[in-house]
Amino acid sequence: MTSARPKIDFDAKIPNNVDLASDRKLQRALERWQPNFLDWWGDMGPAVDTKDVYLRTAVDVGREGWAHFDHVPMNEYRWGVFLSEHDPDRKIAFGEHKGEPVWQEVPGEYRADLQRLIVIQGDTEPASVEQQRFLGATAPSLYDMRNLFQVNVEEGRHLWAMVYLLHAYFGRAGREEADQLLARNSGSDDSPRILGAFNEETPDWLSFYMFTYFTDRDGKYQLGTLKESGFDPLSRTCEFMLKEEAHHMFVGTTGIDRVVTRTAQLMNEHDSDEVAGAGGIPLEMIQKYINFHYTVSLDLFGNESSTNAANYFTAGIKGRWQEERRKDDHLLTDDAGAVDAVRDGQITTTEVPALLALNQDLRSEYMSDCRGGLKRWNRILEKHGIDARLSLPHVGFNRQVGAFAGSHITPEGKMISAEDWKAQESKWLPTEVDKTHVRGLMHPVLEPGKIAGWIAPPSNGINDKPMDFEYVHFN
Amino acid sequence: MTVLEDAPAAPQAAGADAPPQVDFDTDPTRYRHWRYEVEGETAWVYLDVAEDGGLVPGYELKLNSYDLGVDIELYDLTQRLRFSHPEVRSVVLTSGKESNFCAGANIRMLAQSSHSWKVNFCKFTNETRNGIEDMTANSGQTWLAALNGTAAGGGYEMALACETILLVNDRSSAVALPEVPLLGVLPGTGGLTRVTDKRHVRKDRADIFATKSEGFQGPKAVDWKLVDETVSRKQWDATVRERAAEAAAGSHRPVDGHGISLPPLAREVTAESDSLASIRYPNVRCDIDRGARTATITVLGPEPHAVPESLERIHALGADFWPLAMTRELDDLILRLRTNELEIGTWLIKTQGSIEGALAFERVIAEHSSSDWLVNEIRHYFKRTLKRLDVTSRTLIALIEPGSCFAGALLELALACDRQYMLEGTFEDHDEEQDPAQIVLTASNFGTFPMGNGLTRLQSRFYGDDETLAALEAGSRFTGAQAEEAGLVTDAPDDIDYEDEIRILLEERASLSPDALTGMEANHRFVGPETMETRIFGRLTAWQNWIFIRPNASGPEGALRRYGTGRKADFDQKRV
């Protein structure tokens, strides 16, 4: 090659464990892509003007000390490329290639499918940054603002991770897809994000906590199935992403903990369920937000019966949740499974080949995980001596995708008419009044150690820092 | 027809599932089914099939019926008439048997053959029939069919490839296409097409003829234009001679030419392992990777200093003259791969050598091809070899890399491919200093080597896009990026992307249905106008191959399998 490129110190700029410094292909791709990414971050990333933020930066993949905490100007955040450690003996765990060594290169036969999976996963990562762009302006505390930005930069890094795969393994077509990931924008009329759920703005912090609890948890399950992939670089990338994803769900879990705690406190203080007037979020409203975010996230798992999922499984490119811990033949060619169905106005199940039931299988895993949050929040209510309980609605409630789409099912799982649904919908899903109330509570609290009145403070700070630590510095 | 045998059809012969390795090497001393005699300006070609000379066991070649082995000899014979006999200006095709010309393809052979064998057999015989027409049209060797007995099915199709058909009028000899009524298949070696398109038989008469198993004898055959002339036994020899002399009179062949000999090809076949094998000739190399199901075909270009300084030198070199030597080797390789390597689904076409060398040879060919019979023959031979590529049911990918010589005629190899990938720049980690790959357009790309559809490969490539085509000029040279810009290559990745792009492409291709690929590629390769050739290779062959796999022909109760058993075919009566 004769072209003289500006020499960039890649290892310093982009923390990585993929030997970026000696990979010409990757360097060239990233050289072009990185400025576009920074432009995108500037245009579509957090809108609050900050000087620096106390952020975690991934710098390694080891068990100890994989991350580094420091105040960093956000546009200087070092988005890195990390894959979990390489296991030279790893074998494909399922499908028709079961037992063969995992692939270190994209098998041409599955190029299109793998590229599609990576693009869809990659598309959600920047989407959530875009959806949450204006939230920082109404943060209930500096601690929360910092957590929001932490989630944002890490979603940005997850985008990098997917872009790395596209650049490193998919040639020219991969580079073009990587560009498209920045060209689509959440909520854009011309070029929206691929999945509908990622085109809705996150309008308030309750929605943000719900999103990180429920929707990021969908991400966890998707990553979990890709972690099983026979395409080793994808598997290793997703395994490392899951580490960061855990923090995002922590933000959601503890965020809702704190809202519920505060509501319980207000209920006790005022001896009333009606805490809206006292600047809190009533339990009924929290329940409606749960109903909404949970069901929208259920839709993300796709149709109950899916030939795509079956093909991905057979090909060995996307497995089941915790595939290797399962005790079956990992081929599923002779098995059957029951999937949800609506027949003659009744909620029932129908038997299909197990391979076709993989979406439902994953959704079931997700649903039982979600129940953990409800247990937590109900324990808080119990601790505060409150009898009311929060719950997850029926799987068929408010669904737009799959077997229940088009049916009207109450949170209790009763099939009702469209008219009945219309009459009662406002009891189950956030109304304009509810949303206006929640939005009305969103006032920024920027003084270190202080917190908004609708949410309780966290029990611990970040990285053992106290609550009154200056997590964010402003210009 | 129609080989009338009493014995019931044999079960599938052992050879049917694992067809033998077919060799295309032969010469007149080894012929078992043909002989020819040159008398002055006329060559007398006798079909005289040895009944026990079948290529694979399981059938007898009765009644001058033929199989692939018979046709391999015919192909060799046509090549020798072209190259070794410049003095021959007309060719009389007749039978060495008493009162029987040829009964066509052997039915027992067809009934026992796998689908792929039948398809390959038909393709090769079609190419040889087209080659015979090409001799009449472009070599100054006009073919006459002297049907001294009944010519049925493939026998009549062989006659149809000739310029003139004479049928003996003996009150019993006939021409016939009995495939439909007797065998439930088509006269698929051009028969249906040539009756209408070449001999201009009215379609209702063609319908009657093709469903009338006994066909027509002389007078009616003349009346319906199925033959040109019918002659009594008494007049037969004299008339045939007279017609042969008349045909010879119009030839542009030299009277004092000296033929060249076509010695056996130097070919080395090695199997390095279960998955790797190679076929090497002096000027063409092929490396087979059975795991990837690819064959990499590399044509080695000539050296600039090897260009013969004179026409005399070209004649002295003969079969060693690079363009002829290379074409013979490539032709042989294509035939071998097509017949013997069915699972090698993708051919990667490369060249290696000096662009200036290739261009120097081009100039020699261009200078002499209209005046010298040998150079003219070589040009048309390369044309036919390219056409073989065009109708090859394999994915063809040209890889244009530094050190290649895709210039002019050799560029046609790339243009015949389904896709062309050209490295932009050089391979960075290559040991030696390299110049970036170039491709060069010459006059050869603008009409010297037309495809079966009558268009050049450039015209086919840019069909309906005259503007792009008009921008291309002979003499232009293109680097990768320029070639991509001009539309001459599919893609021109640089060295960072190149290997990945090709690897993914090949793996992806290998995962697609071979049948769908064959159909898709054939559709894409032949754009635009239909010719008799494209109708034979497209319409007729596609229908025939469909019929071949239908139970009505090849099922246990189908006409092809039941033929000669004394039992009637049991048809599924649904029209599809």
Q: Identify whether the C-beta of residue A269 lies closer than 8 Å to the C-beta of residue A385.
A: no
Nearest chain A Cα distance for residue B269, angstroms: 30
Confidence of residue B17 (pLDDT cuts 50, 70, 90): low
Nearest chain B Cα distance for residue A389, angstroms: 54
Mean pLDDT of chain B, nearest integer:
93
- The residue of chain B nearest to residue A315, with distances taken between CA atoms, is B511
Interface contact flag, B504 A108, Cβ < 8 Å? yes
pLDDT for B7 equals 36
Contacts of B504 in chain A (CB under 8 A): 106, 108, 111, 170-171
Residue with structure tokens 């009305």? A440
pLDDT for A99 equals 97
Contacts of B501 in chain A (CB under 8 A): 171-172
Of A2, A105, A109, the CB nearest to B508: A109
What CA–CA distance (Å, rounded) separates B201 from B209? 10
pLDDT for B272 equals 87
Confidence of residue B330 (pLDDT cuts 50, 70, 90): very high
Over residues B144-159, the mean pLDDT reads: 98
Residue B307 has pLDDT above 50, yes or no: yes
pLDDT for A2 equals 42
What CA–CA distance (Å, rounded) separates A78 from A34? 11
pLDDT for A15 equals 87
Q: Which residue from B253, B327, B296, B281 is spatially nearest to B84, judged by alpha carbons?
A: B253
Q: Tokens in use for B251?
A: 């030839």
On whether ipTM exceeds 0.85, the answer is no
Residues of chain A with pLDDT under 50: 1-5
Provide the 8-state DSSP code for B394: S
Interface test with A, best of B428, B490, B496, B505 (most A CBs within 10 A): B496
Residues of B in CB contact (< 8 Å) with A are 425, 428, 491, 493-497, 500-501, 503-511
Three-state SS string over A30-62 comes to HHHHHHHHHHHHHHHCCCCCEEEEEEEEECCCC
Q: Tokens in use for B12?
A: 């599938």
Interface contact flag, B428 A1, Cβ < 8 Å? yes
Domains of chain B in start order, with CATH, are 14-249 (3.90.226.10), 268-525 (3.90.226.10)
Among A38-42, A374-378, B134-138, B200-204, the least confident range: A38-42
pLDDT for A172 equals 87
- Sign of the C-alpha dihedral computed for residues A59, A61, A66 and A67 taken in this order: positive
Provide the 8-state DSSP code for A304: S
Q: b/e map of A82-120 (b: 16 or more CB within 10 Å)?
A: bbbeeeeeeebbbbebeeeebbeebbbbbbebbbbbbbe
Interface contact flag, A107 B507, Cβ < 8 Å? yes
DSSP-derived 3-state class of residue A408: coil
Phi-psi region of A391 (alpha: psi -120 to 50; beta: other; left: phi over 0): beta
Domains of chain A in start order, with CATH, are 10-474 (1.10.620.20)
- Over residues B161-173, the pLDDT tens digits come to 999 999 999 999 9
Neighbours of B36 (CB within 10 A): 18
What CA–CA distance (Å, rounded) separates A439 from A208? 12
Measure Cα distances from B401 to A25, B353, B495, B503 in Å.
19, 11, 10, 15
What CA–CA distance (Å, rounded) separates A185 from A165? 21
pLDDT for A63 equals 65
pLDDT for B19 equals 63
pLDDT for A171 equals 87
pLDDT for A8 equals 61
Q: Chain A, 262-301: which have a CB under 8 Å from a chain B CB? A: none
Confidence of residue B568 (pLDDT cuts 50, 70, 90): confident
Judged on CB neighbours under 10 Å (0-12, 13-18, 19+), B340 is: middle
Among B169-178, B365-374, B390-399, the least confident range: B365-374
pLDDT for B11 equals 37
What CA–CA distance (Å, rounded) separates B330 from A6? 48
Q: What percent of chain B is predicted at pLDDT more than 90?
A: 87
Q: How many CA atoms lie within 13 A of A365 on its CB side?
A: 19
Q: Tokens in use for B493?
A: 């990745």
Over residues B284-311, the mean pLDDT reads: 94
What CA–CA distance (Å, rounded) separates A46 from A156? 11
* Helix extents (H) in A132-270: 142-169, 171-183, 205-210, 216-227, 232-270
Measure Cα distances from A451 to A142, A143, A377, A470 in Å.
8, 9, 20, 13
Provide the 8-state DSSP code for B302: P
Interface contact flag, A24 B496, Cβ < 8 Å? yes
Q: Tokens in use for B546?
A: 């469909």
Q: Which residue from B320, B327, B319 is spatially nearest to B284, judged by alpha carbons?
A: B327
Interface test with B, best of A100, A104, A106 (most B CBs within 10 A): A106
